[in-house]
Structure 1
């Protein structure tokens, strides 16, 4: 915002009756899986959906607003995020088990939903055990792994739009594609219903164990990482997956400062300890350049990069 005094007035008006927590200049780096990034100008943690809707109804459209979940698949740039950052927590983590599905709040971890499904004897959601992050982000990006994705199991999602309206959208209305959805601009996912199939609980639990073992074997799960860096190319573009293209371009183990392409799975970036967001994003661009030169394929980021570079901070 160009006028700090005006922004202060808008924030004061919008959050006058909130029940959640509002923190100015809140560090975001420690909240991300990469452990990098600057601060939020304002960090809002709403008490519940009603609290969030009320704030959005009063919040000026001029104020930038960003939704953050588990921050597992994101790089927050070193200059931080302008405006209001909304992060949902305990008030959005309820899970309701039904006969043929689960209703999960947006803050529920994907793995936790998979575990509840196993306990209830519901098959079809085991893939969630292999996806870092929360349900809100999973719906937004149509997260998938191990042969399934959100589009295959979602019945509906409830969202709050930028103007504070609560809406329920069915699967078709979300217009899912590969690692994307058609959520309205500025909308917040509040909860979702995921469909399951009754099955033997032990069989479901065993499948989850297999998913976790496969992930442990192939991915750098104990490192400061952020999930798959690049989307797999369309079949028309390349028959090879992103990691194969990266490997063929000689990028396995490539470094920029303390940012490194994982030796274990080269579609993962790692913070070895003191990397900056600029290091990680720059390394990703180095990889994209090398892959394009080697194969002619342009990789597209799957990890979201948000905020200002440090150089843009006044």
Structure 2
């Protein structure tokens, strides 16, 4: 008897052997053994409480910084979507709540409308709030750690928890708390400072213009591929090693931004990951610097 034969009853959707490529920006990857789309937080908690503890659980957000391998993902993949997880709501005192599925850029816009400054950087982050909490997302000199008050999550055992900024253990593109595993972030509370909405909007417009001229945002990409090593820029290392715009199967590092891995149309996940590993090896051989993946790679080869 398979674990899939004794699943908890849900109000959301359970989809067996569901392709995951359509849920990622790279548009590649194999299926989930089981994809769960919970209707709301209660549905998520009840499902986790009733799920066999031996079954692996993976959370997939909007797939902007995720590479799903061609062999698919073992166990249950949980994707938070819809109104229940996408709420954005100003809470007064320059605070704003956002559900895990809320897009970072939309959170920035809504904060601006409410006269809350400090979240403008989210306008340039291609992801959702759940992922931002997981990896301390940021750009242009600001990060999630600068504005997060607390994050809300459901544990693997189905218990609801609140995690303060200090407890998150933030560092560059990492949360120590999230890295321990076992938490599915469902939302977060942020705090900025009061400012004129027009001034906030003007700063966001600058970020948008800068991003559109320096990043391949209309390609099948996963955002920044490698973390910046201390005192270094990953794109400069990739560029200096000769990989900017060089084809590798159906994959390439963008001619526009050498730290953006792109699917040129027919890439497999193996092409994309293979190119990334080839570049890491070449940069290490030429400079002694070991690039660390920022893109999350999940699943079976």
TM category (shorter chain) comes to over 0.9
Quote how far apart the aligned CAs of 1:253 are.
1.1
Quote how far apart the aligned CAs of 1:132 are.
0.3
Q: Which residue does 2:193 correspond to in 1? A: 197
Question: Among 141, 165, 172, which residue is 2:159 paired with?
Answer: 165
Question: Among 75, 82, 85, which residue is 1:83 paired with?
Answer: 75
- What's the CA shift string for 1:61-87, capped at 9, x where partnerless? 110110010100010000100111000
Q: Which residue does 1:256 correspond to in 2? A: 248
- What's the CA shift string for 1:129-161, capped at 9, x where partnerless? 000010000000000101100001000001101
Give the SS at the match of 1:256. Answer: coil
Cα distance in 1 for partners of 2:212, 2:95 equals 27
Quote how far apart the aligned CAs of 1:240 are.
2.1
Q: Which runs of 5+ in 1 are unaligned?
A: 310-314
- What's the CA shift string for 1:223-269, capped at 9, x where partnerless? 110100000002xxxx3211111111111112211101110000001
Quote how far apart the aligned CAs of 1:107 are.
0.3
- TM-score, normalised on structure 2? 0.97
1:225 and 2:217 matched: no
- What's the CA shift string for 1:77-112, capped at 9, x where partnerless? 001001110000012011110221110000000000
Give the SS at the match of 1:255. Answer: coil
Quote how far apart the aligned CAs of 1:10 are.
3.3
Q: Which residue does 2:25 correspond to in 1? A: 33
Cα distance in 2 for partners of 1:23, 1:68 equals 14
Cα distance in 1 for partners of 2:232, 2:119 equals 27
Quote how far apart the aligned CAs of 1:289 are.
1.0
- TM-score, normalised on structure 1? 0.93
Q: Which residue does 2:100 correspond to in 1? A: 106
Cα distance in 1 for partners of 2:158, 2:53 equals 11
1:124 and 2:88 matched: no
1:308 and 2:300 matched: yes
Cα distance in 2 for partners of 1:251, 1:262 equals 9
- Asked if the contact 2:3/2:52 (under 8 Å) is kept, the reply is no
Cα distance in 2 for partners of 1:247, 1:83 equals 38
Cα distance in 1 for partners of 2:246, 2:279 equals 8
Q: Which residue does 2:279 correspond to in 1? A: 287
Cα distance in 2 for partners of 1:10, 1:161 equals 21
- What's the CA shift string for 1:157-191, capped at 9, x where partnerless? 01101000100011001111110102241210011
1:243 and 2:235 matched: yes
Question: Among 14, 27, 40, which residue is 1:22 paired with?
Answer: 14
Q: Which residue does 1:95 correspond to in 2? A: 88
Give the SS at the match of 2:224. Answer: coil
Cα distance in 1 for partners of 2:129, 2:246 equals 32
Q: CA RMSD in A?
A: 0.9
Quote how far apart the aligned CAs of 1:196 are.
1.2
- Asked if the contact 2:102/2:128 (under 8 Å) is kept, the reply is yes
Count of matched residue positions in the alignment of Structure 1 and Structure 2: 297
